[in-house]
Amino acid sequence: MPSSMSASLPTAKHRELGLTDAEYELIVAGLGRDPNDVELAMFSLLWSEHCAYKHSKKLLRRLPTEGPRVVMGPGENAGAVDVGSGYSVAFKVESHNHPSAVEPFQGAATGVGGILRDVFALGARPIAILDSLRFGELDSERTRYLFDHVVGGIGHYGNSIGVPTIGGEVYFEAPYETNCLVNAMCVGLARTERMVRAAAAGVGNVIVLMGATTGRDGIGGASVLASAELEEGDEKRPTVQIGDPFEEKKVMECCLELLDRDLLVSLQDLGAAGLTSSASEMASAGGVGIDLDVARVPLRNPDLEPFEIMVSESQERMLAVVEPEKVEAVLEVCRRWETNGTAIGEVTAGDAIRILRGDEVVGDMPVALLVDDCPLYDLEPEAPGEWIYGNRRTLEASDPSEVLLALLGSPTIASKRWAFEQYDSIVQSRTVRRPESADAAVLALAETGSAIAVSIDGNGRRVACDPYLGTIEAVLECASNLACVGAEPLGLTNCLNFGNPEKPTVAWQLDQSTRALADACEAIGVPVVGGNVSLYNETERGPIYPTPVVGMVGELPSPEGLPGLALRDGDSIALAGPFVPSLAGTELAKLRGELAPKLADFDPAEIAETIAAVRETVRRGGLRMVHDVSDGGLACALAECAIAGDVGLDASLGDLMSNRGGNAEAWLFGEGPGGFVIAGEVAEVAKVVEEGLAVPIGAAGGSAIRIGAGDVSLSVSVADATAAWHSLAGRMDEESQVTAP
């Protein structure tokens, strides 16, 4: 039996660590005794919401996870899909919401570092980063501070390590004021035969820790912060991990060399819960036990107690399983890369994880109890009877021209150039379509002679209006963005950001959203290969919007000849798809303070067919511009294309109104899935129209954006539209000396 590390724990200690009385009783029953300090700390983290998914795991079983191109699916560090020629693309999205709300620069930076490790833990070299961000309204000092420092943290880490940030999205909505969302996605490329899994294997094999030294930074960090409602104040700031991208670069190159030389049995990153999570999950996946000696762990703080070593979330660390005869070769590579390679344990027979301090046993627990036996909870969902997020009217204008300029200048719709220009989007020389040049980022794969497209999407406001339809829209939006560059979806990853699931309304949102995610993936035929759940995103002011974020990777035959967003003088313009807009849940409804629990219905199967048809049309070639209709509606989509090409346009929506119904304002500014603006030479667009996929609506030319919808029309100069769309940079530059509020 393990020795007691200190005096008996206070009766309520488990509650302070986030365990309920019932959960503590299960631990005692499973061990046959009370846990000591080390064991209780380990259980408190592995049985936390962040690690155990105890309120969402049952719902996630709904998701389709199999497909002909899936190489690795849920349960691994990241998902992976086959892209041919012996290569696979690995990808995953994860959240770092609570740490970023507490310390935005380091929270965002270490979020990037963590998702990079998830990808190269498989043996894939990271080739791209995307980010999906949510903040409060931009007129808030706190929002500007968080936005400024989150962008700085992402740029610092990605730029320093040499991985391009190629895409993303930023929304500004009041419910994210005190609880921002920072979701980071990484994409990597690997030789399929060189990829490894995270399962420990081989009794007698050696456990090697490599990377940064272990310190107190991050103790009780992501795993605890992401498992309870966030309290306002600075008292949790010390729990946020500190990142070092230059250390991560060494660790990454070291690991990739070790894998390339076939020196590792398995590899796992140390993220939330540190050594506790990585060692226990490796043991569980492999059906083996593990002994770890904390006395061998290289420490930054020499006075660390064993429980602190086991739960530290210090960054830039990896855990490997190595055959005994290869240990010296592994350590030699680690010495060359200066990554502190150290043998700290071994794989054992049976089902126990033992924590040693030299010859002293300070923790001894069944692996199954730690990893698999955390209780899973059933939700008690209840739909709200009304809109629960409040409304704030900020737009009084009714003139369509003024409304268009207001929408283009709305921070959610406006150009995010201020942010993405702080990121290196072309390092590694793969980037074919960078931010704001197409609806999806495109990377060339010289290794396979083909290309991939990547997009990340979500709209929490619309999901709040209707969790089921809003989530389906998010999946369709992501697939639509891929279709705009001719890419076929191969796999999907997701990050489900919600409030407290113990509350009936949030439980209902989560239940509806996961059901919709499953249905949408079935509709477009794309498997879910991995993801992340982030719950308890709320403060005493209330929950965030329910925000499922969807990341998707698609395949293109070639990176050549892809359409972009820019119109050219003389282009013919048409609208493809069965788009029927509605003002419910739109950006315009938000600006007018008219949000309500309602979205217009649509047929996902019909939209999926349109997405496939647009994809094939793009692949055929000939179209110069393809852009899906999204935030701000058709008028904003047309204006964005005019701005990109610095050319005006004339468009008429009267025939669409007559044939499909709806009023002028809805056709100008309404939203919904299934709409694509296409443009190119007259003959090429006419061909698409003749095939029945699109309806002609106008032509590019002049210096003004003129759109008519029945007896309603608008006209704004391209110069004024451009100024409105680029207004975000001016607002942030005015706050260039933003400090913590």
Positions marked catalytic: 50, 96
In angstroms, the CA 388 to CA 545 distance is 10
DSSP bridge partners of 733: none
Looking from the CA of 588 toward its CB, the CA atoms found within 13 Å total 26
Q: How far is CA 157 from CA 114, 165, 288, 337, 399, in A?
A: 11, 10, 36, 19, 45
| Residue 383 main-chain phi, psi, to 5 deg | -70, 140
In angstroms, the CA 347 to CA 208 distance is 11
Question: Do the Cβ atoms of 582 and 669 come closer than 8 Å?
Answer: no
Quote the longest CA-to-CA distance of the chain.
86
Q: Tokens standing for 557?
A: 């035959």
3-state SS string for 296-350: HCCECCCCCCHHHHHHCCCCCEEEEEECHHHHHHHHHHHHHHCCCCEEEEEEECC
Q: How far is CA 387 from CA 390, 514, 548, 597, in A?
A: 7, 21, 19, 6
Run of H or E residues at 82: strand 79-84
- Residue 646: Cβ-neighbour burial (10 angstroms; 0-12, 13-18, 19+): middle
Place of tokens 């001719």: 486
- Residue 217: Cβ-neighbour burial (10 angstroms; 0-12, 13-18, 19+): buried
| Residue 523 main-chain phi, psi, to 5 deg | -65, -40
Q: Tokens standing for 404?
A: 């268009």
End-to-end Cα spacing for the chain: 51
CB neighbourhood size of 213 (10 A): 17
DSSP annotation of 214 reads B
Sequence-distant (6+) residues with CB within 8 A of 8 are none
Q: How far is CA 338 from CA 89, 213, 235, 254, 301, in A?
A: 28, 11, 35, 9, 19
Q: Tokens standing for 128?
A: 């791209």
In angstroms, the CA 569 to CA 126 distance is 39
